[in-house]
Amino acid sequence: MIKKSILIENKTSITAKNLQLIIKSEIRESSIPIEDIGFLVLDHQEIYLSLPAMNLLVENNTSVIICAKNHLPNGMFLNLNSHHIQQEVFKNQIEASIPLKKQLWQQTIVEKITNQGILLAKITENKNSFEFLASKVLSGDTTNMEGVAAAQYWKTFFDTYDINFRRERFGDYPNNFLNYGYAILRAATARALSGSGLLNTLGIHHKSKYNAFALADDIMEPFRPLVDEKVFEIMQQYEEQELNTKIKSELLQVLTRTVYFKDEKSPLMVALQKTASSLQQCFMGNRKKIKYPKLWNLTPTE
């Protein structure tokens, strides 16, 4: 079942009763089964969330995302006890060998560069060298082909728009759209990893001691082009350059975007669970590669 994504932007009281989330604002009151909620985005400085409601949300593996005054996601709550063999999974993840982590990172970057190349070709209608760049990624990406690809990618991605774009965390439009989309993707990835019993703090590549979601930052990399594509589409549809309810709602739709595995297709939020589960199996010694989906169905239809 596809979980719901709920965005709350007004002064609101959020409580729980009979396993229902009770959402009460100045103009209306509504309820929704907590088990149906995958993501709860709180984007107002006067939202009240009761502790019983918070505990029920976390127990149901709902990702609760808190936004700062700039309306960008600033933190999230996740379930730390969501898997039946949690301790064993943690142990295997912590003891994973350096060669294994380097191999997993190599695969992840190959997937990311490949997806960037496919999307860039779709947008520019021109061939590019990203397939070649992906073939040059070494174990651990020691030659930083990720950075080489990123420089080429962003140099041409917004060429059809009259903007002097530079990809920056706190940069000008459309960086604000990209940052919001990436934050939502990060939360969805962290939720899937937590659900598979993995420790988000311990990455396979990202290692900053200040980063509580290093593993999510690793595994979300191949999925970033879905956010890029959505932002490109939003820029074609709307003239707004500031984040508003409409834009944020559009970006949340990335979570229900269809992606493709070998024998099936699924919404992104479900696919992330499959990817997370495969990573857990890699740490447990039952798989050698992460199960990443194809982001686009490139098979010609008859």
3-state secondary structure 99-148: HHHHHHHHHHHHHHHHHHHHHHHHHHCCCCCHHHHHHCCCHHHCCCHHHH
| pLDDT at residue 163, rounded to an integer | 78
The reported pLDDT for the residue numbered 302 is 36
The arithmetic mean of pLDDT across residues 136-163, rounded, is 92
pLDDT of residue 263: 86
Residues 51 and 169 placed together within one structural domain of the fold: no
Residues 18-32, mean pLDDT to the nearest whole number: 93
Residue 229 lies in a domain: yes
Q: Is 12 in the same domain as 103?
A: no
Domain identity same for 152 and 242: yes
Is 221 annotated in a binding site? The answer is yes
Tokens 């990835």 -> residue: 189
Question: Between residues 164 and 104, which one has the greater pLDDT?
Answer: 104
pLDDT-based confidence at residue 81 (cuts at 50, 70, 90):
low
Q: What integer pLDDT is reported at residue 84 of this predicted model?
A: 60
Give the pLDDT score at 267. Answer: 94
Place of tokens 């060998």: 97
Lowest mean pLDDT among 86-95, 207-216, 252-261, 262-271: 207-216
Report the CATH number at residue 64. Answer: 3.100.10.20
Same domain, 100 and 245: yes
Tell me, yes or no, whether 97 lies in a domain.
Answer: yes
Average pLDDT on 72-77 reads 83
Res 221 pLDDT > 60: yes
Cβ neighbour number for residue 5 with a 10 Å cutoff: 22
Residue 291 falls inside a structural domain? no
Would you place residue 53 in the very low, low, confident or very high pLDDT band (cuts 50, 70, 90)? very high
Q: Indicate the pLDDT class of residue 110, thresholds 50, 70 and 90.
A: very high
Task: Indicate the pLDDT class of residue 63, thresholds 50, 70 and 90.
Answer: confident
Asked if 16 contacts 9 with a C-beta cutoff of 8 angstroms, the reply is no
Q: Would 288 be classed as within a structural domain?
A: no
What percent of the chain clears pLDDT 70, i.e. is strictly above it?
96
Handedness of CA 111, 114, 117, 121 (dihedral sign): negative
pLDDT tens track for 242-292: 999 999 999 999 999 999 999 899 999 999 999 999 999 999 999 999 999
pLDDT value for 206: 84
Pair 182, 246 in one domain: yes
Say if residue 46's pLDDT is above 90. yes
Residue 261 maps to a domain: yes
Q: In whole numbers, what is the pLDDT of the chain averaged over residues?
A: 91
Report the pLDDT averaged over residues 133-139. 97
What residues contact 185, with CB distance under 8 A and at least 6 apart? 220, 223, 224, 226, 227, 254
Q: What pLDDT was estimated at residue 292?
A: 98
Helices 268-283 and 98-124, packing angle to 10 deg: 160
The predicted model gives 148-157 an average pLDDT of 95
Residue whose structure tokens are 């976390």: 58
Q: What percent of the chain has pLDDT over 90?
A: 73
- Range 15-44 average pLDDT: 93
- The alpha carbons of the chain give a radius of gyration, in whole angstroms, of 20
Residue 180 has pLDDT above 50, yes or no: yes
Residue 118 sits in a domain whose CATH number is 1.20.120.920
pLDDT over 70 (residue 132)? yes
Is pLDDT larger for residue 69 or for residue 233?
Answer: 233
206 a known binding residue? yes
Output the pLDDT for position 164: 78
Among residues 55, 77, 99, which one ends one of the domains?
A: 77
Query: Looking at the structure, do residues 91 and 15 belong to the same domain, yes or no?
Result: no
Residues 6+ apart with CB under 8 A from 259: 226, 265, 266, 267, 268, 271, 293, 294, 295
Parent domain of 12: 4-77
One domain, residues 70 and 155: no
* Contacts within 8 Å (CB) and 24+ apart, 46-53: 46/11, 47/8, 47/11, 47/12, 47/13, 47/14, 48/12, 48/13, 48/14, 49/14, 50/14, 50/15, 50/16, 52/15, 52/16, 53/14, 53/15, 53/16, 53/21, 53/22
Asked if residue 83 has pLDDT above 90, the reply is no
Number of domains, the chain: 2
- The reply to whether 236 and 125 lie within a common domain is yes
The closest alpha carbon to 109, from 223, 221, 206, 261, belongs to 221
**Is 301 part of a structural domain of the chain?**
no
The verdict on 68 and 91 lying in the same domain is: no
pLDDT at position 1 is: 64
- Residues pairing with 180 in the sheet: none
Same domain, 40 and 165: no
Q: Give the bridge partners for 48, in sequence order.
A: 13
Is the pLDDT at 209 greater than 90? The verdict is: no
Same domain, 101 and 62: no
Are 101 and 24 found together in one domain? no
298 domain-assigned: no
User: Strands 37-42 and 47-49: what pairing?
Assistant: unpaired
